[in-house]
Amino acid sequence: MKVAISGKGGVGKTTIAAALTKIFAQSGGTVYAIDADPDACLAAAIGIPEDEALKIKPVVEMRDVIRNKSGSGAFYTLNPKVDDFLDDYSYKLGNIRFLRMGDPKKGGSDCYCRENTFLNALITSLLLDQQDTVILDMGAGIEHLSRGTARGVDMMLVVVEPSRNSLNTAKHVQRMAGDLGIARIGIIANKIRSDKEKEFLLQSFPDNAILGFVKFSESIWANAMKSSSAAELEGELLVEMQKVCLKISGEVGGYK
Amino acid sequence: MKVAISGKGGVGKTTIAAALTKIFAQSGGTVYAIDADPDACLAAAIGIPEDEALKIKPVVEMRDVIRNKSGSGAFYTLNPKVDDFLDDYSYKLGNIRFLRMGDPKKGGSDCYCRENTFLNALITSLLLDQQDTVILDMGAGIEHLSRGTARGVDMMLVVVEPSRNSLNTAKHVQRMAGDLGIARIGIIANKIRSDKEKEFLLQSFPDNAILGFVKFSESIWANAMKSSSAAELEGELLVEMQKVCLKISGEVGGYK
């Protein structure tokens, strides 16, 4: 199954994406963890050392390799072959395969339209075994939705924190994910520090729309200053996110 | 003078942008506060009611109007006239004139390249009196820099919080702002909760690079759930940001 994680900047998308990646990886299948944000930090969050992460070639570079091999043929005619290329562009960590969309660029040089278009083609073309999972950590905000980068995922997760602004973003995400034909949308409430905050979020969505409530974590905050920011997945975050994974797989399938 | 605010998602760019807007507005000149993020919330932060904010026409729509008036002429030939158009696309609040870049779009319909290109042309063409100021609240992350949206500002401010990830973003911003020829770059440290966090940030930048340290504010967090999230500018945030404004104007000029 293929799942994208979205939401306003700073709500904790990468923390949630890393937790989902680790938990689904424990179920045995391959998990493709894809950082779709040019301002990336998913690699560190799943435990890839910084110097190793810098060596990973961004998948957008695959485009020209495939074009050269296929002549001018359309990318999608090569779908069954895309796995042949992935080894060169992914970092293996147990049964996690990490990929990243693109590199930082020179100021004033270019947008990331090409990267987003190629990533969408790649996601669409990934043929998964029943147990395999794709977790996409999207960029902050809504442009990835207007671009349609995650079109073709089975579920769009929206991370919210107890703020009006993050709810406004979530509303845009829900609408735009609907435009993209993404049938399933789930909310994950993050950084909850009181019952009042939980109640505020509960009242903002229909019953059962929120798949899980993750408490604000002092240890994640304290850990954020370290050079590798891969906080251990443990305690309440682990327990709550395991429940979330079961709900996701109950809706979409693929998790045992 | 023209100042852009950038940084990782969630570090508090909009809070800082709103504070700068209000403080510079007190000095008497016109302050153009421009929300350059399609996932926008600067309007609420400076105190524009939500229903009023929805009525403000995005500046990208000005493009076609100008084209129609100028035939096929290039935008920059009309520079001295751009003020004539601004009334229709801005919301006045005292001597603040608020503008926003673009509207949310349909999922899968388009990128925001057109909006960014036009906004850059608009910023460049704004002719300011000595006391006038432009404050640009940029989108999260680094794509606005690879696009060069804020090319032409006098100073790039980078908001950081005490996390490794926000420092990594700041490094990219500094490099890319340099690529764009932006001569002055200042750091604002936000959400500081301890001396240890302050020390961590001090050690991460050269002496005097950090223009101000803003403490984590429980009241901003609590206020974030309200429907209008225009926190009063008061207390330590006000005092610290007044110092920041003086430093900015000391470097760039224009604030009395």
For residue range B24-83, list pLDDT tens digits in order: 999 889 999 999 998 889 999 999 998 999 899 999 988 777 776 665 555 545 455 667
Interface test with B, best of A225, A227, A228, A229 (most B CBs within 10 A): A225
Q: Is B185 on the interface with A (CB under 8 A)?
A: no
Reply yes or no on whether the pLDDT at A78 is more than 70.
Answer: no
Average pLDDT over residues A214-228: 84
* Tens-level pLDDT at each residue, chain B (256 residues): 999 999 999 999 999 999 999 999 998 899 999 999 988 899 999 999 989 998 999 999 887 777 766 655 555 454 556 677 788 899 999 999 999 998 989 999 999 999 999 999 889 888 888 889 999 999 999 999 999 999 999 999 999 999 999 999 999 999 999 999 999 999 999 999 999 999 999 999 999 999 999 999 888 888 888 876 566 888 899 999 999 999 999 999 754 4
Q: Is A141 on the interface with B (CB under 8 A)?
A: yes
Closest partner residue to A225 (CB to CB) among B38, B146, B163 is: B163
Write down the domain spans for chain B.
2-7+9-250
Query: Per the confidence metrics, is the pTM higher than 0.90?
Result: yes
Reply yes or no on whether the pLDDT at A65 is more than 80.
Answer: no
pLDDT, position B63 = 79
Tokens in use for B53? 């904010």
Radius of gyration, CA atoms only, chain B:
18
pLDDT, position B74 = 53
**Closest approach of chain B CAs to the CA of A226, in angstroms?**
6
ipTM of the complex as predicted: 0.92
Q: In this structure, are residues B161 and B191 in contact, taking their beta carbons and an 8 Å threshold? A: yes
State pLDDT tens for residues A131-158.
899 999 999 999 999 999 999 999 999 9
Among all residues of chain B, which has the CA nearest to that of A120?
Answer: B108
State pLDDT tens for residues A167-203.
999 999 999 999 999 999 999 999 999 999 999 999 9
C-alpha–C-alpha distance, residues B87 and B89, integer Å: 5
Alpha helices in chain A (DSSP H): 13-25, 42-46, 50-55, 62-70, 82-86, 113-125, 143-147, 164-179, 195-202, 218-223, 235-252
pLDDT, position B256 = 45
Q: Do B164 and A140 touch (CB under 8 A)?
A: no
Reply yes or no on whether the pLDDT at A206 is more than 70.
Answer: yes
pLDDT, position A81 = 61
Average pLDDT over residues A1-23: 96
pLDDT, position A165 = 93
**Closest approach of chain A CAs to the CA of B40, in angstroms?**
8
Q: Is A194 on the interface with B (CB under 8 A)?
A: no
pLDDT, position B224 = 87
Would you give the end-to-end CA distance of chain B in angstroms? Answer: 12
Q: Does domain A2-7+9-250 have CATH number 3.40.120.10?
A: no
What average pLDDT does chain A have?
A: 90
CA distances in angstroms from B145 to B6, B111, B155, B239, listed in the order given: 9, 15, 13, 30
Which B residues, 54 through 83, put their C-beta within 8 Å of a C-beta on chain A? Answer: none
Reply yes or no on whether the pLDDT at A43 is more than 60.
Answer: yes
Among all residues of chain B, which has the CA nearest to that of A12?
Answer: B10
A74 vs A27 pLDDT, higher one:
A27
pLDDT, position B217 = 86
Q: Do B139 and A140 touch (CB under 8 A)?
A: yes
Q: Do B139 and A143 touch (CB under 8 A)?
A: yes
Among all residues of chain A, which has the CA nearest to that of B174?
Answer: A107
Lowest model confidence (mean pLDDT) among A159-173, A196-210, A229-243: A229-243
Confidence band (pLDDT; 50, 70, 90) for A256?
very low
Confidence band (pLDDT; 50, 70, 90) for A230?
low
C-alpha–C-alpha distance, residues B202 and B190, integer Å: 12
Sheet holding A184-192, edge to edge: A91-93, A96-100, A31-36, A133-138, A2-6, A155-160, A184-192, A210-215
A218 vs A15 pLDDT, higher one:
A15
Tokens in use for B194? 């301890």
Closest partner residue to B107 (CB to CB) among A145, A197, A225 is: A145
